[in-house]
């Protein structure tokens, strides 16, 4: 596995960790370790939430047909539906992340970023299907190396308040490459061509980059 170009504790969490450490230290200094114990527990929570470990990239062969999980979590939806971003019928696979999962988001395919859309919205439980259309979200259109069109949508959750997507049109992503982060509970929806073969089931635990969730049809799309 190549050297991981990101810190094991995500940069997105550095301000939260600093604040948590200062508060815990001040409480312990002023009131003692017993009063400070809950604050040190919160420090531990911040550390585990913002962890960002390196991962092996899953998939087969040259990767042209492999779709890997964009996030850690559980599969909560596999269904044919409308992809409102590309105005097409598509196969949606959704991964729900709870607060104990790694929240770093990674590209499901090798491809080029064609467009990014941000939509403000609500913050209902991300495990619910209506979160895909009602919650704050950031969608990214990727065109795969084999011509496949994929939409990857970061969706805010019940307590999530910040979706981070660092990509712009024209940028290239490798399968498993980190492209964003969602703070505090969320989901990622992946919209795939209808002839894609899904390799996971509802309820399966998946890991970003490592878990193969689908394979494109062997005849590339034009």
**Residues with active-site annotation:** 186
Residue listed under structure tokens 């990727």: 142
Alpha-carbon distance of 155 to 96, in angstroms, equals 9
Q: Which of 74, 129, 72 is nearest to 102 (CA)?
A: 72
Bridge pairing between strands 172-173 and 88-97:
unpaired
- The Cβ-side half-sphere exposure at 81, using a 13 Å CA radius, reads 17
Alpha-carbon distance of 187 to 110, in angstroms, equals 21
Using DSSP's 3-state secondary structure scheme, residue 47 falls into helix
Q: Which of 117, 133, 207, 211 is nearest to 167 (CA)?
A: 117
Using DSSP's 3-state secondary structure scheme, residue 49 falls into helix
- Residue 141 tokens read as 């259109």
Alpha-carbon distance of 25 to 31, in angstroms, equals 10
């Amino acid at each position: 596995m190549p050297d991981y170009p990101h810190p094991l504790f995500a940069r997105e969490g550095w301000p939260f960790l600093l604040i948590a450490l200062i508060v815990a230290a001040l409480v312990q200094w002023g009131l003692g370790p017993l009063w400070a114990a809950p604050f040190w527990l919160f420090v531990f929570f911040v550390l585990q939430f913002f962890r960002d470990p390196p991962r092996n990239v899953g998939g087969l062969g040259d990767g042209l047909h492999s779709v890997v999980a964009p996030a850690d979590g559980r599969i909560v939806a596999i269904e044919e539906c409308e992809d409102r971003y590309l105005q097409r019928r598509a196969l949606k696979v959704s991964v729900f992340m709870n607060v104990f999962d790694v929240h770093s988001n990674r590209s499901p395919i090798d491809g080029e970023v064609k467009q990014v859309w941000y939509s403000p919205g609500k913050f209902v439980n991300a495990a619910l299907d209506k979160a895909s259309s009602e919650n704050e979200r950031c969608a990214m259109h990727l065109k795969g190396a084999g011509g496949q069109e994929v939409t990857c949508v970061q969706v805010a959750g019940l307590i999530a308040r910040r979706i981070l997507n660092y990509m712009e049109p024209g940028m290239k992503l490798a399968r498993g490459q980190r492209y964003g982060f969602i703070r505090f509970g969320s989901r990622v929806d992946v919209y795939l061509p209808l002839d894609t073969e899904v390799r996971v089931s509802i309820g399966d635990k998946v890991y970003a980059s490592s878990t193969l969730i689908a394979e494109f049809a062997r005849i590339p799309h034009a």
